[in-house]
Structure formats: C-alpha cells, structure tokens
Amino acid sequence: MVQYTKLENLLLIVKKILLKKDKFLNLANKTPTPFYVYDQEGMDESIESFVASFQRHIPNFQSYYAVKLNHYPLIVSRAVEKGMGLDVASIRELNIALKAGAEKIVYYSPAKSGNDLKYVLKHADKVRIHIDSFNELHLLGKLTSKLKIKIEVGIRIHTPAHGLWTKYGIPLQSLRKFWEEASKYPFLKLNGIHFHQSRNKTVSFYVNTIRDLANYLKENFTSDQLKSVALVDFGGGFEHCESEGVIVRKGLHWPKYKISKNITIEEYARAIGNSIKKCFDPIINATYLSEPGRYICNNAMHIVLSVSDIKDKENCILNGGINMVGWQRFEKEYFPLVNITHPSKTERKCRMWGNLCTTWDVWGYYYHGSRLQEKDVIVVPCQGALTYSLAQAFINDIPAVYKLK
C-alpha cells in the first residue's frame, strides 16, 4: 500500500492553496474576513477521482453523496450535476436533496418516525428507504399497505466486529428472518443490504464485512432469496490521503503532529472490487452502491481568516473562531494553515488563536509563510467535511460562504 510521508502530504495541500493564492486574495480584498470558500474545482477533482476508481474495479457501481457531511446548497447541487445520487438522513436533508433536483435518493437513519416515513412515501418515485430495525419494517410495511404506495427498500446490517456501529441496523444473523418478515408486506420491495463504518484508514472493514455477508448468504438464503438481492450498499468512510494529521501532546510542551497515513481511493476501490468478485459475484447479481461524504466534500470548502493581533512571536489572534467548525477540532487534528499574504512552503511555529472568549479556540500551532503580520490572510484548507454542517452561532455569528472564482 502507498503511504504518504509528512513532507509529501503537507506540500501537496500547501501547493494547491498557493496555486489559487490570487483567487483567495482577490476574494479577501472584496469581502471582509472571516468566511468560508466553496471550491468547485476541488470538489470536482474529488468526485472524478472517486467515481473513476470505483467504476474501474466495479462495473455496476453507483455513488451517492452523503449530505450530512456538508449541506451547503452549491455542494449538494454540484454532486447531482456530476451524476451522483444523494444519501440523506432526515426530512430536512431530503428537502435539500429534492430542491437540488436529485432523482436518486437513499433515505437512512435510525428510529424514523411514522410521520417521517409518510413524508418519504410521497416521493417514492425518487427515494429508496434503508430500514434500521424490525419495528421500523412493520411500521413502514403497514403504512405502505394502508396508503397503497410501493417503494424499494434495503436493510442495514452489522456484525459483532463493528463495535459501536452496532447501534445501526440488525445483526447479520437476523437477516434471513428479516427477509421473510418483509415478504408479508406486498407494497415493500426488499432488494438491498446496507453496511457502513466511518473513518476507515485501511480496507479491512470492507473486505471483512463483504466476506462475512457473502458466507452468511450462501449458508442461509434460498436460491430465490439470493436472486432478490439486487443491491449492496457498502457505505462510505473513505479518507483523503492528503488531508490531515493528528496533534500529539506530551505534557505542557509545544504540541507536535504526525500526518495520517491513509491509503489512496484507488486502493480502496481495488480491494473492495476484488472482494466483490471473489465473494459476491458467484452468488448474487447486484448493483453496488457507495455513500461517500468526507472524500467528496473535504476539499470543496476552505476557511479564510485574517490576523487581528500579534501578541508575540509565538501567539497571534485570528479574526474568526472555531464556532465555524462546530467543535474543538484543532486541539486534536492538524491542518496546515497557509499565509497567502506572505506565502512560503516553510512551516513556522506560532499559536494561531481564534477570537472567541475561550482558550479552546485554537486553529493550530504552525503556519506556512515567510512571516506573519497584522491583516495577513490565512487559509485553513480542506474544511468541507463536518464543519459547515456543525457550525454554531457561539459568541460569533456563522460567516457567509463565497465561491472561489
């Protein structure tokens, strides 16, 4: 497996930002910082690399963008324009997807209410539901019979190896019983199986779950039941190999970091494709679906800030706070902050504080630049995933989003 060194990872992100330096500066000159930047080029690159890799290894493949990772309208609509379906987890997200013009939608969340399901059934021509439990199966089955509405559905499963992710779905060992129960509802077309786990830095989750599911199907499903399995959704959880690092703390000393060693999307796709050929192809004829979120949107949004105050050579205050990303992210995660006013690939040490009235408000401990002065423009790259969606009006308002042109 290809693993990226610290230098390769850092310089790749920094180079990409510096290549767009003039665009960022032009925007910052017209618009007061702080703000988010929507980077359509960055998003397009991620979509194209993801789809190309998986279609190369899985011919009957479909991709659905997970809206929860970033619901910004231009990001959602761009995913649709690029041919992706949408994965939604609430009625709010379903309405975002419909407004974006999506024609292919998967609706999955635990503990869906009767009102949720009634609303989804109004859009059964565009939406398939992935069921979370036996209770939900019976609730949906009765609703479809009462309303005389047909809909395609899947069921999410888990194995003991999935740890905390056993919150979702039913145990794999209950899958045949679920299939038999679903057959009692004539307006439900159960044809899919779904599994997922986030932040997978290796392929083992996918390979092991595909193997376990295939073995279970061979041993427990009848030939007719096997023929009815038309879709397998292996979720998302793919990491960008270029995106981030981890802060390493030792006492009160200056924190250091290490860059995450993630594999490439091509390696994910190859391993999953090989497992499908080995395990599934001999027993089922299915379409394979993935629901990437982080991989698609992480490089689609950046944050632009300015230096408000320089306390000393090791401490400066930026004019935006981490309410923009929703939680104390940068105490644990590392991203290379880039000074585009005084650009350089050289990394220098300085605590980059936000302007919130809390000591948790830190953007990082290093920046790339030749020097640091008040009013310098700082870019925090690759902030598209689970940041804008989690932003909160804590002390500061949530800033606007502008498109990079």
Question: Tell me, what's the pLDDT at 241?
Answer: 67
> Under 8 Å CB-to-CB from 164, ≥6 apart: which residues?
none
Mean pLDDT value across residues 171-193: 98
- The CATH number given to whatever domain includes residue 189 is 3.20.20.10
Decide if 1 is inside a domain.
no
Which of 297, 324, 356 marks a domain boundary? 297
Decide if 204 is inside a domain.
yes
CA–CA separation, 197 vs 272, rounded Å?
Answer: 14
Overall number of domains in the chain: 2
**Long-range contacts from 73-76, C-beta under 8 angstroms, 24+ separation:** 73/99, 73/100, 74/38, 74/40, 74/401, 74/403, 75/38, 75/43, 75/297, 75/300, 75/301, 75/384, 76/100
Mean pLDDT value across residues 370-391: 96
Backbone angles phi, psi at 400, to 5 degrees: -80, 170
Decide if 374 is inside a domain.
yes
State yes or no: pLDDT of 190 exceeds 50: yes
What DSSP character marks residue 106? E
- Verify that 286 and 348 share a domain, yes or no: no
- The CATH number given to whatever domain includes residue 339 is 2.40.37.10
Which of 274, 297, 320 marks a domain boundary? 297
Residue-wise pLDDT tens digits, 145-167: 999 999 999 999 999 889 898 99
Question: Tell me, what's the pLDDT at 3?
Answer: 40
In this predicted model, which residue has the larger pLDDT, 278 or 161? 278
- Verify that 123 and 16 share a domain, yes or no: no
Decide if 378 is inside a domain.
yes
Domain membership of residue 323 as a residue range: 6-38+299-403
The percentage of residues in the chain with a pLDDT greater than 90, rounded to a whole number, is 83
Residue-wise pLDDT tens digits, 326-348: 877 777 788 889 999 999 988 89
Residue-wise pLDDT tens digits, 96-113: 999 999 999 999 999 999
Decide if 129 is inside a domain.
yes
Question: Tell me, what's the pLDDT at 246?
Answer: 72
Extract the runs of DSSP E, i.e. beta strands, from 145-255.
151-158, 170-171, 188-194, 231-233, 245-248
Number of residues assigned to the chain: 405
CA–CA separation, 263 vs 276, rounded Å?
Answer: 19
- Verify that 196 and 316 share a domain, yes or no: no
Q: Under DSSP, is residue 133 helix (H, G, I), strand (E, B) or coil?
A: coil
- Verify that 103 and 45 share a domain, yes or no: yes
Question: Tell me, what's the pLDDT at 10?
Answer: 59
State yes or no: pLDDT of 143 exceeds 70: yes
Cα 155–Cα 159–Cα 164 angle in degrees, nearest 5:
95
Cα 166 from chain centroid (whole Å): 19
Mean pLDDT of the residues in the chain = 93
- Verify that 58 and 164 share a domain, yes or no: yes
| Upper half-sphere CA count for residue 172 (Cβ side, 13 Å) | 22
- Verify that 231 and 283 share a domain, yes or no: yes
- Verify that 68 and 27 share a domain, yes or no: no
First to last CA, the chain: 36
- Verify that 231 and 339 share a domain, yes or no: no
- 312: pLDDT confidence band, cut at 50, 70 and 90? very high
Residue type, 344: S
- Verify that 293 and 324 share a domain, yes or no: no
- 262: pLDDT confidence band, cut at 50, 70 and 90? confident
Residue-wise pLDDT tens digits, 62-86: 999 999 999 999 999 999 999 999 9
**What is the value of pTM for the model shown?**
0.94
- 239: pLDDT confidence band, cut at 50, 70 and 90? confident
- Verify that 274 and 303 share a domain, yes or no: no
Decide if 317 is inside a domain.
yes
- Verify that 135 and 97 share a domain, yes or no: yes
- Verify that 157 and 56 share a domain, yes or no: yes
Question: Tell me, what's the pLDDT at 222?
Answer: 98
